[in-house]
Amino acid sequence: MKNYTVKRYQEKDYANWNAFISVAKNATFLFHRDFIEYHKDRFDDYSLMVFEGEKLVAILPANKVDECVYSHQGLTYGGLVYNEKIKLASVIEIFRSILFFLNENKIQKMQLKLIPPIYHQKPAEELNYTLFLAEAQLIRRDALATINLSENVFIASGRKEGIVKGKKNKLQIKEVDDFELFWNDILIPNLASKHQAKPVHNLEEITKLKVLFSDEIRQFNVYENGTIVAGTTIFESLNVAHCQYISGIEGKNELGGIDFLFHHLITDVFKNKRFFDFGTSNENQGRLLNRGLSFWKESFGASTFVQDFYEVETINYSKLDSVFK
């Protein structure tokens, strides 16, 4: 086996970390340290870096709670990040080194939420196989509603009716840099009334992130006679346009605003992306499906990719000692 060294991320590693994710085959801007640290006061960072000699070969964005390390709970997805030259056998050895390091540091378990394959620049499911070898337990599975934009997009008649309504009502779609109208007039009130919840990002945070990632975080609003009636916040990566937030003003859905907006995004703004990701329609740790929301996404031509969540005991590093022939 190769000799890998595992170290915890420190501030002095900022440039090295970010340079590495810029060439990784399964990374997006969410793994940039500026994104990870916008809410650093909420998490006890336990991000790891793996070296072969002096060469950085893998990273793991993570945080710690008690005696468990999580692939970072402040990110939509995570896991082990590596470049396209790395081989499957090396990923197994790297992951063994991580489990051994955690075990030596009194960490009993690690939970990982894997990067959905639509975000991979090239196939990158080496970790999935490695988790099987380490006898990790599947603890959650979410369903992502995703459109493959390289194929003909089928839009159901119900959505087409909404699009026609939007045109008839002379709605306007604008991309804006200011999130205040959407956050305060639509998103916050809707989440509070329907789900007794708040956006993951408050207005100050999303505004700060927009400054840091101006090309990747995009806000699209729909207006009726100059008044906002709907909107969506898009996180754009190399392959994927992902809907971080979708919401319309209560009582205005008959205008067709949301259907009108997403038809425009899918057929025009992001038509050259590989995938358009509506995100999940799950609740209760993946155990419940919001049937109506799922149907709406599928009626735009979306179908399902899954995102898996695993838990592995760090003592299981020993199970990776005898997997090579």
Q: Could you read off the pLDDT of 29-50 as tens digits, one per residue?
A: 999 999 999 989 999 999 999 9
Query: Angle at CA 104, nearest 5°, toward 102 and 109?
Result: 40
The reply to whether domains 5-141+308-320 and 151-273 share a CATH topology is: yes
Report the percent of the chain where pLDDT is more than 70.
99
pTM: predicted TM-score of the whole model, two decimal places = 0.95
What is the C-alpha to C-alpha distance for residues 111 and 68, in angstroms, rounded to an integer? 7
The CATH number of the structural domain formed by 151-273 is 3.40.630.30
Alpha helices in the chain, H assignment, sequence order:
14-21, 33-36, 88-104, 126-133, 157-168, 180-181, 188-195, 203-212, 257-264, 291-298
CATH topology of domain 5-141+308-320: Aminopeptidase (3.40.630)
What pLDDT does 276 receive?
A: 98
Question: pLDDT, tens digit, for every residue of 291-320?
Answer: 999 999 999 999 999 999 999 999 999 999
Classified as helix, coil or strand, 277 is strand
* Interatomic CA distance for residues 315 and 109, integer angstroms: 8
Coil, strand or helix: which one is 234? Answer: strand
| Model confidence at 69: pLDDT above 90 | yes
Pairwise CA distance, residues 256 & 95, whole Å: 49
Residue found under tokens 């006898």:
135
Handedness of CA 17, 239, 77, 258 (dihedral sign): positive
Mean pLDDT of 91-108: 98
Does the pLDDT of residue 252 top 70, yes or no?
no
Q: Mean of the per-residue pLDDT values for the chain? A: 96
* Interval 138-177: pLDDT, tens: 999 999 999 999 999 999 999 999 999 999 999 999 999 9
Tokens of 253: 């859905």
- Residue 194's pLDDT band, with cuts at 50, 70 and 90, is confident
Query: Which residue ranges make up each domain of the chain?
Result: 5-141+308-320, 151-273
pLDDT in tens, 277-290: 999 999 999 999 99
Residue 2 is predicted with a pLDDT of 82
